[in-house]
Chains A and B, each alone.
Chain A
Amino acid sequence: MANTKNNILEEVTQSEYKYGFFTDIEMDTAPKGLNEDIIRFISAKKKEPEFMLNFRLKAFERWKKMTEPDWAHLNIPPIDYQEIIYYAAPKKKPKLDSLDDVDPELLETFDKLGISLDEQKRLTGVAVDAVFDSVSVKTTFQDTLKKHGIIFCSFSEAVQNHPDLVKKYMGSVVPAGDNYFAALNSAVFTDGSFCFIPAGVRCPVELSTYFRINSAGTGQFERTLIVAEEGAYVSYLEGCTAPQRDENQLHAAVVEIVALKDAEVKYSTVQNWYPGDKNGKGGVYNFVTKRGMCKGSHSKISWTQVETGSAITWKYPSCVLLGDNSIGEFYSVAVTNNRQQADTGSKMTHIGKNTKSTIISKGISAGFSNNSYRGLVKISKMAENSRNFSQCDSLLLGDKCGAHTFPYIDTQNSSSIVEHEATTSKISDDQLFYCLQRGIDTEKAIGLIVNGYAKEVLKQLPMEFAVEAQKLLAISLEGSVG
């Protein structure tokens, strides 16, 4: 009995990455290495206005003076920033009006990933911006969005067509010198998504960006900016994969969200970067800064993430609750397996009155992995009657992995309430026996229980994504479909 259980856990911890293929496509790349010239090169390639170049150069100056953060519960091998290619784009003119003009290889790549760029083939209700290596390939459903005055395009296009909006909001939530990886991103980011929902508009479709790292030796540095004006609403989805490679690839992204009065932004991520092989060789370093600013009163920003990929994850989607009565939420399922390491969580900064935040984090560790929750809840003096509830649970599958919880609570206001709860456990023998007694085999039982455990978070995902996430969770833990 004990043996079968161990065998299954072993199987469970040895799943294969399904998106490991590589697309052979002609690329336009910059020489590897990082210096002012490379930054000027990127800016020139993208025909950027001067304010952009200045933003980049300033960030680069800051970055040079900074050191990599070392406080996370991660073992990060040294990264040679001069060995990375900071710009890689498909050679064919990347942004096209018709699908016919897109390189068929690219189309096929996204089809293989289950992301059809053909609007006819897609389920209605999701507009996609596909980012291949550093460049946005195609944004679907442009016409529908235009009708509502919604801007959803690649970041490069936004710089060209809406420089005022970019200038106003870029760096307003995550300043160029915020942290080491954000500064690096600010200096060299190549593309990403831009999304603007005008006042009073409820975006009729889900907006989605799909990120794919393809080329060898490239880093991916995309930047996403979402602005929801007064009373606007948008639900935004992000997905990512990368080919299977022996070397590590760096992904340092920045996501900024601004929500004005009464606006609501829901941001969902299914992160499935290549996690490396079962011995820990290769895989993506996912060092991402995501932050939302609830600028206006009664605004709301909600982060939902399902993290199954990456060799190392360093990521803390956060909310600054500036407006009175604003709400911040963070829902996370993080699965680590084999030699993966994750240090992820959230930061909720309460500044406005009556602000509310919720953190629900479910960590699942298997194999030899280490999975940490790290979160900060900060209640400032002014944040009267604020409230936070955090729950961080860890589930351990096997006895060679680690699950850690590092919550930080700083409170300076006496009318606020902060509550943190956390548990760490394994699947209980009683639960397993109960399932077995009803004729459900061990593997299915583990699947059932793990999915049940993650349900609170999965139900936050938009329908279409939830199915994908559930599948992913199943693949990551092999055959654990509920």
Chain B
Amino acid sequence: MLTIKNLHVEIEGKEIIRGLDLEVKAGEVHAIMGPNGTGKSTLAAVIAGREGYDVTEGEIIYNNKELLEMETEERALNGIFLGFQYPVEIPGVSMNNFMRTALNEQRKYRGLDPIPASEFLTQMEEARKLVEIQDKLTNRSVNEGFSGGEKKRNEIFQMAMIKPTLAILDETDSGLDIDALKVVARGVNALKSKDNATIVITHYQRLLEYIIPDFVHVLFDGKIVRSGGRELALELEEKGYEWLKQEA
């Protein structure tokens, strides 16, 4: 589904990712771990198509297409979803309106008519139940006045609505208490299928107790320095990142 080859990325002339390779297949869950400032969020932003990142070398193939050639919204319409580390507030734009616009764009892209109101409401209701958010939140403006936990749940809620092919969850666990973490993980697990894939970016292995990854990669200094199964996460938890730094 996603193949990244020898990716190099600069921000304002500073190289952040230095030759990264990654292969993600349908049905898989990948976890990317690593200390702060090693390029985890940069990777997520580049896949989603955020401005301000210069890809100086390498390529990303997504479902046989050159991902880097595609506009941000085109990537989204092709099934890429980014769960933001810091979801932005958009005052005055209600969640309902926002989601309906997003879903209709998806449908338009696939040649479908706009979503009927009743179907939309049913989907909203189901997604709300999945991540246990109150319906009053969906009547509020996008992320405005949401607590940290509510914002993160709202990301998973949107993921449930949009049903992406490839979801990238950027530090979705940061700032969550254990109950909220469970809810978020349950949401992610429920949405998992053989046709889609998830990349979980995290700092701690805590989240991985609830979202079981098939592969764990350790990102350090802009490269994947180690890949392995779930046990790698546990090893990291035990030994910390210092051990890897020395190895690298």
Tell me whether A448 and B101 are in contact in the complex, defined as CB-CB below 8 angstroms, given that A438-B162, A439-B162, A455-B92 are known contacts: yes
B76 and A437 contacting across the interface, CB-CB below 8 Å: yes
**In A427-448, which residues have CB < 8 Å from any B CB?**
428-431, 433-442, 444, 448
Asked if B93 is at the interface (CB within 8 A of a chain A CB), the reply is yes
Chain B residues near A428 (CB, 8 Å)? 88
The contact string, 1 if C-beta is below 8 Å from chain B, for chain A 1-16, is 1101000000000000
CB proximity of B140 to chain A, nearest CB, Å: 12
Chain B residues near A442 (CB, 8 Å)? 73
Asked if B247 is at the interface (CB within 8 A of a chain A CB), the reply is no
Chain B residues near A448 (CB, 8 Å)? 90, 93, 97-98, 101
Asked if A451 is at the interface (CB within 8 A of a chain B CB), the reply is yes
Asked if B205 is at the interface (CB within 8 A of a chain A CB), the reply is no
Interchain CB contact (< 8 A) of A434 among B71, B90, B162: B90
- Return the chain B residue nearest A441 by Cβ: B73
Interchain CB contact (< 8 A) of A453 among B51, B81, B87, B92: B92
Asked if B91 is at the interface (CB within 8 A of a chain A CB), the reply is yes
B90 and A1 contacting across the interface, CB-CB below 8 Å: no
Chain B residues near A430 (CB, 8 Å)? 88
Chain A residues near B75 (CB, 8 Å)? 437
B90 and A482 contacting across the interface, CB-CB below 8 Å: no
- Return the chain A residue nearest B106 by Cβ: A439
Give the complex CA separation of A435 and B73 in angstroms: 8
Give the complex CA separation of A399 and B77 in angstroms: 30
Tell me whether A449 and B93 are in contact in the complex, defined as CB-CB below 8 angstroms, given that A437-B82, A439-B76, A440-B105 are known contacts: yes
A452 and B84 contacting across the interface, CB-CB below 8 Å: no
- Return the chain B residue nearest A453 by Cβ: B92
The contact string, 1 if C-beta is below 8 Å from chain A, for chain B 93-115, is 10001100110011001000000
Asked if A454 is at the interface (CB within 8 A of a chain B CB), the reply is yes
CB proximity of A433 to chain B, nearest CB, Å: 6
B92 and A436 contacting across the interface, CB-CB below 8 Å: no
- Return the chain B residue nearest A442 by Cβ: B73
Give the complex CA separation of A182 and B81 in angstroms: 58
The contact string, 1 if C-beta is below 8 Å from chain A, for chain B 66-86, is 000001110111000110100
B98 and A438 contacting across the interface, CB-CB below 8 Å: yes
B51 and A434 contacting across the interface, CB-CB below 8 Å: no
CB proximity of B82 to chain A, nearest CB, Å: 5
CB proximity of A443 to chain B, nearest CB, Å: 10
Give the complex CA separation of A434 and B142 in angstroms: 10
Interchain CB contact (< 8 A) of A1 among B48, B72, B92: B72
Give the complex CA separation of A448 and B49 in angstroms: 20
A440 and B97 contacting across the interface, CB-CB below 8 Å: no
**In B37-67, which residues have CB < 8 Å from any A CB?**
48-51
CB proximity of B10 to chain A, nearest CB, Å: 16
The number of chain A residues touching the other chain, given as a range, is 20 to 34
Chain B residues near A1 (CB, 8 Å)? 49, 51, 71-72
Asked if B141 is at the interface (CB within 8 A of a chain A CB), the reply is yes
A431 and B90 contacting across the interface, CB-CB below 8 Å: yes
CB proximity of A104 to chain B, nearest CB, Å: 39
Interchain CB contact (< 8 A) of A433 among B72, B98, B102: B72
B76 and A451 contacting across the interface, CB-CB below 8 Å: no
Asked if A456 is at the interface (CB within 8 A of a chain B CB), the reply is yes
B88 and A431 contacting across the interface, CB-CB below 8 Å: yes
Chain A residues near B93 (CB, 8 Å)? 448-449, 451-452, 455, 482
Give the complex CA separation of A448 and B100 in angstroms: 12
Residue among B81, B105, B109 with most chain A CB within 10 A: B105
Give the complex CA separation of A433 and B88 in angstroms: 9
CB proximity of A342 to chain B, nearest CB, Å: 21
A454 and B51 contacting across the interface, CB-CB below 8 Å: no
Chain B residues near A441 (CB, 8 Å)? 73, 105
Interchain CB contact (< 8 A) of B92 among A2, A429, A444, A451: A451
CB proximity of B12 to chain A, nearest CB, Å: 15
Chain B residues near A454 (CB, 8 Å)? 92
Asked if B158 is at the interface (CB within 8 A of a chain A CB), the reply is yes
A449 and B90 contacting across the interface, CB-CB below 8 Å: yes
Chain A residues near B92 (CB, 8 Å)? 451-456
B84 and A434 contacting across the interface, CB-CB below 8 Å: yes
Chain A residues near B88 (CB, 8 Å)? 428, 430-431, 433-434
B77 and A439 contacting across the interface, CB-CB below 8 Å: yes
Interchain CB contact (< 8 A) of B50 among A433, A435, A438, A452: A433
Chain B residues near A429 (CB, 8 Å)? 51
A436 and B72 contacting across the interface, CB-CB below 8 Å: yes
Interchain CB contact (< 8 A) of A440 among B50, B84, B102: B102
A439 and B73 contacting across the interface, CB-CB below 8 Å: yes
Known: A433-B51, A438-B76; 9 extra A-B contacts, CB below 8 A, are: A434-B88, A435-B102, A436-B71, A438-B98, A438-B162, A439-B73, A442-B73, A452-B91, A482-B93
Closest 9 A-B residue pairs measured CB to CB? A452-B92, A452-B93, A455-B92, A439-B76, A436-B72, A438-B102, A430-B88, A436-B73, A439-B77
Q: Which residues of A contact B (CB under 8 A)?
A: 1-2, 4, 428-431, 433-442, 444, 448-449, 451-456, 482
Residue pairs across A and B with Cβ atoms less than 8 A apart, 22 shown, are A429-B51, A433-B51, A433-B72, A433-B88, A434-B84, A436-B49, A436-B72, A437-B84, A438-B162, A439-B76, A439-B102, A439-B106, A439-B109, A440-B102, A444-B105, A448-B101, A449-B90, A452-B141, A453-B92, A454-B92, A455-B93, A456-B92
